[in-house]
Amino acid sequence: MNRRNIPSLIIIISTAIAMASGFLVLGGYFFAQNTNGQASLLSDIRLTLLNWAIILAGFAIFIGIINLSQVHFKKIQNKQKGAFYSLLLIVSLAATFLFGLFKPGQVEIVFTTVQLPVEASLMALLAITLTYASIRLLRRRLNLLSVIFLVTALLILLGTAPLPFVGDIPGLSDWVRPFIAQVMAAAGARGILIGVALGTLTTGLRILFGSDRPYGGNK
Amino acid sequence: MSIGLGIAGFGIVFFSSVLMLGLAFLHRKKPSVFRDIPAFTRLRQAVGLVVEDGSRLHVSLGHGALTTPQSASALAGLALLHRLANLTSAGDQPPISTSGDATLAILSQDTLQAAARTSERANFDPTAGRLTGLTPFSYAAGAIPAIRDENVSANVLMGNFGVEVALLTDAAERENSFVLAGSDNLVAQAVIYATAQEPLIGEEVYAAGAYSEAGPLHTASLSVQDVLRWLIIAAILVGALLTLAGVL
């Protein structure tokens, strides 16, 4: 066989395996029971394939961490901007790894005392970022939809958080806010979710047919 | 799942498949006409600029794990990454991709490598497709330096995000770079609408392939979505009428 044909052959084989696996999992989902009410063969195959996928995803995390380290080692090596933070990341990664190795029962201390507070601060930062972005929205896109967006956000905020010394605003807290949140927003959200579900279905079908191949290289 | 429900589900998927393949075959030579989505027009311009000024394109795929239903938007993002990586292959700097899930990071590397192979670029850098963090906020915190420090002039954020997407859009805006963002998550969509330069709402995320001329099946999938949407509208109306009549 010509060596040049090997990548094409790999693509054909990987596509065939992916399509077969996809159809088997889909079949196992729809025909999970046989007429006796017991789990069907397709259902067993589906569970086996999904278990394999979960094991592979576990290995992928290991590869991902190697990739993360590579990116930051490269930054340190090339003395790029932010190399100090990369060094901090590598040291923290190694320290957490060693801590987990020698004190496996207490590794969650790292997450509760470092990771969680840092993420909570990012969440707080997000509140400021969103407020600032909402103010800039009118400057960036001055149209009717942006005005409706901001007015709705303001009404929901006023209706949700009671004002100091005033408390709940009559009419706003007990009528306007529930109407917007439970009728208008819920109706709009359902419409968007139906659209997302249809998009998910067609994306899945394109991958099943091998039109989109996020594996083995697209050609 | 009961047998009846399973057969109904299979029927919907089978009908959609036949419709998609049939429409793709019928429209394979005829260029399709879509409604204008300004975000995609501006994306094409931004990609052109990336090639012209020798800057970089950044595609972020979110943190929807492949073993969860949230992966569909990331897979749509991967299809767009492949298309954009090919379009920018003539540029000085290859695109970079960030993700918050390890399987997505591996797939993005594979996609970028395939694009490098197609463009016969001499060397492929495996760190171009990278995992930046495993929790939503650590992922965002890791992706911000990529937006800020790597000469990026266009950002495409497409996948499963949460509210942390605002940190990414804010970082991009501070660098005066182009941002197109879309997610399958409702909360993230609201945040994206408020913060991103070019937001994609609802199923527009899944239309990226068709608008970037990725192939006849992408075009056909939009038509299938439209047909199914009309069928759902009809079913809702019939259901409402039958309820009013006291039949249901």
CA distance to partner chain B, nearest, from residue A169 (Å) = 25
Angstrom distance (rounded) from CA B211 to CA B32 = 10
Say if the Cβ atoms of B166 and A74 lie within 8 Å. no
Helices and strands per DSSP (H, E), number in chain B: 9, 6
Fold (CATH) for B37-214 = Rossmann fold (3.40.50)
Average pLDDT of chain A, as a whole number: 87
CA distance to partner chain A, nearest, from residue B98 (Å) = 10
| Residues of A whose CB is below 8 A from B120 | none
CA distances from B60 to A32, A178, B108, B226 (A): 36, 36, 10, 28
- Does A6 score more than 90 pLDDT? no
Length of chain B: 248
The pLDDT of residue A216: 60
Q: How confident is the model at residue B92 (pLDDT cuts 50, 70, 90)?
A: confident
Say if the Cβ atoms of A119 and B135 lie within 8 Å. yes
Picking from A160, A187, A186, the residue whose alpha carbon sits closest to that of residue A173 is A160
- Does B90 score more than 80 pLDDT? no
- For chain A, what is the HEC assignment? CCHHHHHHHHHHHHHHHHHHHHHHHHHHHHCCECCCCCECHHHHHHHHHHHHHHHHHHHHHHHHHHHHHHHHHHHHHCCCCCHHHHHHHHHHHHHHHHHHHHCHHHCHHHHHHHHHHHHHHHHHHHHHHHHHHHHHHHHHCCCHHHHHHHHHHHHHHHHHCCECCCECCCCHHHHHHHHHHHHHHHHHHHHHHHHHHHHHHHHHHHHHCCCCCCCCCCC
Q: Considering the entire predicted model, what is its pTM?
A: 0.89
Say if the Cβ atoms of A218 and B170 lie within 8 Å. no
The pLDDT of residue A193: 92
Give the list of residues 6+ apart from residue A25 with CB closer than 8 angstroms, or none: A45, A46, A49, A50
Q: How confident is the model at residue B148 (pLDDT cuts 50, 70, 90)?
A: very high
Residue B122, Cα to own-chain centre: how many angstroms?
28
The pLDDT of residue A71: 92
What is the average pLDDT across B66-94?
86
Q: Which residues of B151-164 are buried (b: 16+ CB within 10 A; e: fewer)?
A: ebbbbbbbbbbbbb
Angstrom distance (rounded) from CA A214 to CA B214 = 13
Angstrom distance (rounded) from CA B187 to CA B202 = 11
* Option in A126, A209, A212 nearest B163 (CB): A126
Of the candidate ranges A133-137, A198-202, B163-167, the one whose mean pLDDT is the lowest: A133-137
**Closest-approach residue (CA) in chain A for B71:** A200
**Under a CB-based contact definition with an 8 Å cutoff, are residues B187 and B162 in contact?**
yes
Say if the Cβ atoms of B186 and A85 lie within 8 Å. no
Surface of B (14-73) touching A: CB under 8 A? 16-17, 20-21, 65-67, 69, 72-73
DSSP E strands, chain B: 56-62, 96-99, 129-131, 152-160, 178-183, 198-200
Q: How confident is the model at residue A1 (pLDDT cuts 50, 70, 90)?
A: low
| Residues of A whose CB is below 8 A from B140 | 122
- For chain B, helix, strand, coil in percent to 5 are 60, 15, 25
Q: Which residue has the higher pLDDT, B102 or A5?
A: B102
- Does B122 score more than 80 pLDDT? no
Q: What angle do CA A47, A34, A48 make, to 5 degrees?
A: 10
The pLDDT of residue A153: 87
* Bridge partners, B155 (sequence order): B58, B179
In chain B, domain spans: 1-30+216-248, 37-214
**Closest-approach residue (CA) in chain A for B7:** A30
The pLDDT of residue A52: 93
The pLDDT of residue B121: 65
CA distance to partner chain B, nearest, from residue A102 (Å) = 23
| Residues of A whose CB is below 8 A from B103 | 56-57, 60
**Under a CB-based contact definition with an 8 Å cutoff, are residues B165 and B183 in contact?**
yes
pLDDT in tens, A46-105: 999 999 999 999 999 999 999 999 999 999 998 888 899 999 999 999 999 999 888 888
The pLDDT of residue A131: 83
- Does A217 score more than 60 pLDDT? no
**Closest-approach residue (CA) in chain B for A150:** B194
- Does A134 score more than 90 pLDDT? no
> With an 8 Å Cβ cutoff, is B118 touching chain A?
yes
CA distance to partner chain A, nearest, from residue B246 (Å) = 23
Q: How confident is the model at residue A32 (pLDDT cuts 50, 70, 90)?
A: confident
Counted across chains A and B, CB pairs separated by less than 8 A come out at 210
CB atoms within 10 A of CB A196: 21
Q: Which residues of A167-177 are buried (b: 16+ CB within 10 A; e: fewer)?
A: eeeeeebeeeb
The pLDDT of residue A195: 92
**Closest-approach residue (CA) in chain A for B69:** A200
The pLDDT of residue B241: 95
**Under a CB-based contact definition with an 8 Å cutoff, are residues B181 and B162 in contact?**
no
**Under a CB-based contact definition with an 8 Å cutoff, are residues A40 and A32 in contact?**
yes
Give the list of residues 6+ apart from residue A178 with CB closer than 8 angstroms, or none: none
The pLDDT of residue B114: 84
The pLDDT of residue A94: 93
Average pLDDT of chain B, as a whole number: 89
The pLDDT of residue A3: 58
Q: How confident is the model at residue A39 (pLDDT cuts 50, 70, 90)?
A: confident
The pLDDT of residue A2: 62
Best of A10, A29, A54, A71 to substitute, by most chain B Cβ atoms within 10 angstroms, is A71
- Does A215 score more than 70 pLDDT? yes
Angstrom distance (rounded) from CA B201 to CA A140 = 17
The pLDDT of residue A12: 85
The pLDDT of residue A107: 82
Say if the Cβ atoms of A206 and B221 lie within 8 Å. yes
Angstrom distance (rounded) from CA B190 to CA A111 = 29
Picking from B100, B93, B9, B106, the residue whose alpha carbon sits closest to that of residue B50 is B93
* Tokens (6 digits) for B149: 């420090």
Residue % of chain A over a pLDDT of 70: 95
* Bridge partners, B157 (sequence order): B60, B181
Angstrom distance (rounded) from CA A123 to CA A115 = 12
What is the average pLDDT across A162-170?
79
Backbone angles phi, psi at B131, to 5 degrees: -90, 125
| Residues of B whose CB is below 8 A from A30 | 1, 6-7, 9-10, 13
What is the average pLDDT across B206-211?
87
Say if the Cβ atoms of A198 and B215 lie within 8 Å. no
Of the candidate ranges A8-12, A151-155, A190-194, B14-18, the one whose mean pLDDT is the lowest: A8-12
What is the average pLDDT across A173-201?
91
Angstrom distance (rounded) from CA B35 to CA B23 = 18
- Does B60 score more than 90 pLDDT? yes
CA distance to partner chain A, nearest, from residue B219 (Å) = 11
**Under a CB-based contact definition with an 8 Å cutoff, are residues B55 and B152 in contact?**
yes
* Option in B3, B194, B201 nearest A130 (CB): B194
Q: Is B148 in a helix, a strand, or coil?
A: helix
- Interface predicted TM-score (ipTM): 0.89
Q: Which residue has the higher pLDDT, B213 or B157?
A: B157
The pLDDT of residue A126: 85
Say if the Cβ atoms of B78 and A212 lie within 8 Å. yes
The pLDDT of residue A218: 53
CB-neighbour burial class of residue A38 (10 A; exposed 0-12, middle 13-18, buried 19+): exposed
**Under a CB-based contact definition with an 8 Å cutoff, are residues A126 and B166 in contact?**
yes
